[in-house]
Each structure stands twice: as structure tokens, then as C-alpha cells.
Amino acid sequence: MFTFKKILWPTDFSGPSYEAFKTAKELALHFSSELYLVHVITPMPPVVEIPRDRSSFDVSLYRKELQFSAEKSLQEVIDKKIGKKLKVHAIVVHGAAAIEINRIAKRENVELIVIATHGTTGWKRYFLGSVAEKVVRIASTPVLTIQAPHGEK
């Protein structure tokens, strides 16, 4: 029988990601697993030119604010939805989402990644791509994908 000692749940804090959270949490409780909550802050596109009529934009301050906000949101998930029931690790990193998710999974010897699909199709999928699809494609860890309920995509 399969047992999972470490489960990773990547989140972008969307409705579909919380649907995947329900499954990740249930599995973690069932197997008494450690649960890794991961949020990846994607790089900002380079700014070609700052308009002269605007003051400068502090990129490093903005990155720190994103980091703080993500850490706070993960802590809220722990406090409100998990409590002391599980051993939990909250991780916020910067980079390409699929690559960082897989890097953390390898580094922490995670045995299962539980990730939401957003059901993106057509031009949106072509233009934006799918993090879940990329995670599945490059993962050396088993990946369980959870499809978003209709109306939450």
C-alpha cells in the first residue's frame, strides 16, 4: 500500500487551488504526513521605460511586500484550516512556478504533489500555459491533479 510521509500543495491562492488543498489535507491526515504549503512568486517582467511623469517604482520593496503577503496568507491557511493537526511547512520562493515546485519537492523528498488544474483551454492555455501541466511534465515525484469545479476556473 502507498503511504505518503510528505505531501506538497502548491497554491496561487485561487479557488481551484483551495479545492486541491482539501484533497492534500485529507491525504495528509489519513497518512499522518507532513504537509508542505508552497507559493511561488513569479518574476516581474522587465520594465522597458518608466514614464517621465511618474516617480520611480521600487522593485525590491514590491518583492518584499509580495513575500510578506504570501507568507501571511499561508499562515492564515495553517491557522484557519489546519491548526495543530499536522506538521506543516510554509514555503514562499521566487521563480518559475513549475520549476520551483519541482525543486522543492526534490529537496524535501516529497512523495506526492497535489495541484489544482484551472481548466484553462483554447487561447488562454496557449498564451498563459498551465503550471499544473508543466509540473506534471517535469516532475520526478508523483502528481495528483485536481480539476476545478465548474464555475471556479
Residue 58 confidence (pLDDT):
75
Percent of the chain with pLDDT over 90: 64
Q: Is the pLDDT of residue 113 over 90?
A: yes
Q: Which CATH superfamily is domain 6-44+56-147 in?
A: HUPs (3.40.50.620)
Give the global pTM.
0.85
Q: What is the 3-state secondary structure (H, E, C) of 93-144?
A: EECCHHHHHHHHHHHCCCCEEEEEECCCCHHHHHHHCCHHHHHHHHCCCCEE
Q: How far is Cα of residue 34 from the mean position of the Cα atoms in its chain?
A: 16
Residue range 113-134: average pLDDT?
Answer: 71
Model pLDDT for residues 45-96, shown as the tens digit of each residue: 766 566 666 667 677 888 899 999 999 999 999 999 998 889 999 999 999 9
Residue 48 confidence (pLDDT):
57
Model pLDDT for residues 3-26, shown as the tens digit of each residue: 899 999 999 998 899 999 999 999
Which of these, 143, 146, 13, lies nearest to 77 by C-alpha position? 13
Residue 130 confidence (pLDDT):
85
Residue 128 confidence (pLDDT):
47
Residue 150 confidence (pLDDT):
62
